[in-house]
Structure 1
Amino acid sequence: MDAQPTTERAPLWAFYAYFLRLGATGFGGPIALAGFMQRDLVETRRWISPEDYTDGLALAQLAPGPLAAQLAIYLGFVRAGWAGATIVAVCFVLPSFLMVWALSVTYVRFGGLPWMQALFYGIGAAVIGIITRAAYKLTTLTLGRSRLLWAIFVVMAWTTAWTGREIGWMFILAGVLTTLVATWRMAREEALRHAPGLGLIALSAAPTTAGAAGTGAPALATVFWVFAKAGAFVFGSGLAIVPFLYGEVVQSQGWLNDRQFLDAVAIAMITPGPVVITVAFIGYLAAGPWGMTAAAVGVFLPVYLFVVLPAPYFRKYRSQPQIKGFVTGVSAAATGAIAGAAWVLATRALVDVWTIAMAIAAFVILTRWKVSELWLIGGAALVGLLVGQFRG
């Protein structure tokens, strides 16, 4: 694909170095990371044209997987094709992967000590507030006043809370439903323009299914497959992957317990780069260093392919109402799943008045002020240590 001309033609090493630095220092979640790329690459350095940036952002919103990683990979593709996309993906993910590796080793070695337990006692409560805030914010961004989208949200939230896991086929069903509605509306408008009073169309959709989760010991192939499904079938960015992972690694596979899973989400919060790097921590607990490698490759490989394969054709078809309709439905379902997962995790993590207070405080602070999740988690860890001393 021919990129739109940019004002500055940066050396490739400088372009790749930027994503290495962003992966090492970029806190704040996917929206913040996307904002950094827009500010630095489009406005300040002018290495990427506004058209290429907006195309990449639109594709990242349409495809499953983490938004920030998809956008970075797309910009790498624009700059230097497949090689550029590959190098940018590695540069963007590698720093947080190495940080999570170090934290995983520390967690396994010292996880039984009282001070480590006290840290994650407070951090786990703050994570509940952060997840709840994410669900609340997503409802304002994705649902609007649509009764259909609110119905999808409620059904997904209830089923996730009731079953304790994400039901994959319901996401596909939500996307198909909103696609049909978008197609029907488009056909009705077209019919009214040509033949007022007549607007009926019959539609059918081929069902889409996903394989069942594997069972048995966490062999590397099993670890890879579990996280490849997460990368391939989970829409929405950042915390949207949490309910899917909870259902797989806690409910189905039994690799982690509830406490360890909350700690895994917390690890992702206190490291820079994409939030889905939490899969590396989970993979380490399940199968050691090779397990975390299999998990990271599994979750990011579909993301990579979903960007570089359709990139040359995306501009031609991105405005199709059917595509927009599908993404709208899946986004509403993802929002409901996050809300349901927040409830499930809260019943495990909020065990006393201290944890309840910290979760509420985290939610209120994020709602009222622009505060980095990193500062919240650091404060919650400190409170956890103090409460641990008080209770001890």
Structure 2
Amino acid sequence: MNTPSNTAPASTNPPYTLWQLVLYFLRLGTFGFGGPVALVGYMHRDLVERHGWITEADYKEGLALAQLAPGPLAAQTAIYLGYVHYRTLGATLVGLAFVLPSFLMVVALGSAYSAFGGLQWMQAVFYGVGAAVIGIIAISAHKLTTKSVGKDKLLWAIYLTLLVVTVMTESEMAWLFVAAGVLGWFWRAPPKWLSKGSLNAVAAAQMPTASNLLAGLDLSLLSQIGLFFTKAGAFVFGSGLAIVPFLYGGVVTEHHWLNDKQFVDAVAVAMITPGPVVITVGFIGYLVAGLPGACVAALGTFLPCYLFTILPAPYFKKYGKLPGVVAFVNGITAAAVGAITGSVIVIAKRSLVDTPTVLLALGTILLLWRFKKLQEPVIVVGAAVIGLLLYPLLHH
């Protein structure tokens, strides 16, 4: 594979073996709590500062590409770091090592949930955890909004549009994300060919029709799961939580594979387990179609992010900072964050069913607001204990 010299290995003999790197990511995937931002922070601390395996420049390049391309931030950064010295084989093995532990955990939890979901103790656990998850997503949405949208008027317009559309339709609209990116690109860094004709505008106008046509196809359940999760995986920008509105729209509103309560429980499972938040797709897939469903959902979600990392990697340094590319990504990111914020409102309306759940969600928001370094799993465990205590009293 001919790659430009700017992505060539820093040295012919990297200071670590491929298996050392794979083992590191296997450990991180097994014990790495705290969400995508925390996970990429651990990678920097361990691989750049502590071991010196990856240079600061390579790490920054990987992080920038992960933010630029669709896909979960932590998983893509990991895949890129595997690519740095060991190319496609390194990227593939590191990606598998990072995702596999949490995938096995959510499949085990999916199996337990299917077997015991009707038992009172499990309903009690998720009664507390589900409410806390609303608070965790609300705080994440606030952080993403201040970081991604800032004071930019165009991005605020995109953000608010997607927020309102998500709340009103309660569904995922992939073409709106692309439209937001194109708007940002044409507004901030209009391409030279734009003035030469309007064929592209006609093509863009057909996008909603094409996506509706796909939705009308009659496919087997596993094919439907594969198609839906691949589409979702191709539009997750920045944070793993960006997949939540997509999943809600497809899994609950469109296909009716899960009900509201099961969906919130699925997001809760992603918060409980280490590794990437997006791994909730394995749990959802398991509830819909058992182990084959879990495998198809996970493969569909992670394959786009894998390809979006290894294919542009050789060219990223050359084109990643072009004004048009940056404007396109900023537009899509603002749309994604607007959809996340809208989905918080949609899910909260259905999930906060009584005073204790409302208080638990508000308590979570206050705790995370007040104690910035408080880890989400600590809150999840606390909420589970509260659920175990309160649920029998309220539902006896």
TM-score bracket relative to the smaller structure: over 0.9
1:234 match: 236
Partner of 2:336: 334
Rate the CA distance shift 1:218–1:265 in 2: closer, same or farther, 3 A: farther
Q: CA deviation at 1:215?
A: 6.0
8 Å CA contact 2:181, 2:329 repeated in 1? yes
- Partner-residue secondary structure (3-state), 2:189: helix
* 1:205-225 per-position Cα deviation (integer Å, ceiling 9, x unaligned): 554536333665762222111
Q: How does 1:242-257 map to 2 (within 5 A)?
A: 242-257=244-259
Alpha-carbon distance in 1 for matches of 2:286, 2:189: 45
Deviation by residue 1:237-270 (Cα, 9 ceiling, x = unmatched): 2110000011111111111010000000000000
Aligned-pair CA distance for 1:236:
2.5
% same residue: 55
Q: Which amino acid aligns with 2:391?
A: G
2-structure distance, mates of 1:255, 1:118: 23
Q: Any unmatched runs of 5+ in structure 1?
A: 188-199
In structure 1, what is the equivalent of residue 267 of structure 2?
A: 265
Residues 285-319 of structure 1: CA distance to partner in whole angstroms, max 9, x if unpaired?
Answer: 11100110001111000110001011001111111
Secondary structure in structure 2 of the residue aligned to 1:233: coil
The whole-number CA distance in structure 1 between the counterparts of 2:257 and 2:217 is: 11
Q: Which moved more, 1:145-154 or 1:279-288?
A: 145-154
**Closer, same or farther: CA 218–28 of 1 in aligned 2, 3 Å:** farther
Runs (4+) of structure 1 exceeding 6 A deviation are: 200-203
Tell me how far apart the structure 1 counterparts of residues 305 and 216 of structure 2 sit (CA, whole Å).
21
CA distance in 2, matches of 1:327, 1:291: 31
Equivalent position amino acid for 1:375 in 2 = V
Alpha-carbon distance in 2 for matches of 1:388, 1:245: 27
RMSD over aligned Cα, in angstroms? 1.9
Aligned to 1:89: 95
* Aligned counterparts of 1:278 and 1:65: Cα–Cα separation in 2: 14
Q: Tell which deviates more after alignment, 164-173 or 336-345.
A: 164-173
Q: Which residue of 1 aligns with 2:306?
A: 304
TM-score by length of 2: 0.92
Partner of 1:25: 31
**Distance in 2 between residues matched to 1:153 and 1:278, nearest whole Å:** 25
Q: Distance in 1 between matches of 2:197 and 2:97?
A: 45
2 CA distance for matches of 1:365 and 1:6?
A: 49
2:186 corresponds, among 155, 177, 180, to 180
Rounded Cα–Cα distance in structure 2 between residues aligned with 1:7 and 1:54: 21
Give unmatched runs, 5+ long, in structure 2: none
Instruction: Kindly state the Cα deviation for residue 368 of structure 1 after the two structures are TM-superposed.
Output: 1.6
**Partner residue in 2 for 1:351:** 353
CA distance in 2, matches of 1:296, 1:310: 22
Q: How many residues align?
A: 379
Give 3-state SS (helix, strand or coil) of 1:213's partner: helix
Instruction: Give 1:378's aligned residue.
Output: 381
Q: Single out whichever of 38-47 and 200-209 deviates more from structure 2.
A: 200-209
Any residues of structure 2 matched to 1:1-392 within 5 Å, and which? 1=3, 2-5=8-11, 9-184=15-190, 205=200, 207-208=203-204, 209=207, 211=211, 212-213=214-215, 219-369=221-371, 370-391=373-394, 392=396
Contact 2:14 2:85 in 1 (8 A): no
Give TM-score, length-normalised by structure 1.
Answer: 0.93
